[in-house]
A = this chain, B = another copy of it.
Amino acid sequence: MNRSASIDTPDQGLGGEGIGKESLKGSLGFLLRVAQLRSFGHFFAVMSEENVRPGEVTVLDLVRENPGIRQGVVSKTLKIKRAQMSKMVREMEAEGLIARRVPREDRRSVELRLTPAGEARIARIATRFPEIEARTGKRLTAAEARELRRLLIKMTGLEDKEGE
């Protein structure tokens, strides 16, 4: 096990699980992290059942809603860096879920569209979105969930500008 720590006499090291005061622990940033992890946990669990990767699903969903969307716009919208998006799109193309097309009017860019297989997959998975949403907000009343959504939108400034 390769434990190099010293073995020593006790020392009132809190035996139980109790935690003392807080500082970062009570910060908004930490709470957001915990909330996001919990929410993602639900999402991930369902996507595992469906044998798909979470990231793929968000891309499929956005491309479905916006056929021909440029790859960079997907990237900005979903807050995924271009490098990562590039990899994902390559894999999804290889899986036959997505089609890339370089438009004549701007040959740097790439337009994305779903293949029929992609359409089928996202359609199947999308039926489970409400379930995930419900699980995420299950401890809140409807009014509270609405207020939480409003505060998050305000906090992030998402109302004003779409892309960063």
Per the bound structure, the CA–CA distance linking A149 and B13 in Å amounts to 31
Mark interface residues in A24-44 (1 if CB within 8 Å of B CB, else 0). Answer: 110111111111111110110
**CB of A48 closer than 8 Å to a CB of B:** no
For the residues of A in contact with B, the DSSP-based class is mixed
Per the bound structure, the CA–CA distance linking A37 and B29 in Å amounts to 9
Residue in B10, B19, B102, B133 whose CB lies within 8 Å of A5: B102
3 pairs of A and B residues whose beta carbons are closest in the complex: A13-B68, A5-B100, A36-B36
**CB of A84 closer than 8 Å to a CB of B:** no
**CB of A116 closer than 8 Å to a CB of B:** no
Q: Which residues of B contact A57 (CB under 8 A)?
A: 24
Per the bound structure, the CA–CA distance linking A42 and B79 in Å amounts to 15
Per the bound structure, the CA–CA distance linking A111 and B7 in Å amounts to 10
Q: Which residues of B contact A140 (CB under 8 A)?
A: 151, 154-155
Most chain-B Cβ atoms within 10 A of its Cβ — which of A11, A34, A58, A62? A34
Q: Are B126 and A155 in contact (CB under 8 A)?
A: no
Given A13-B70, A101-B6, A151-B148: A28 touches B137 (CB 8 Å cut-off): yes
Q: Which residues of B contact A111 (CB under 8 A)?
A: 11, 13
- Given contacts A5-B110, A7-B101, 9 further A-B pairs with CB under 8 A are A4-B100, A8-B102, A14-B69, A17-B163, A25-B65, A136-B155, A139-B156, A139-B157, A151-B151
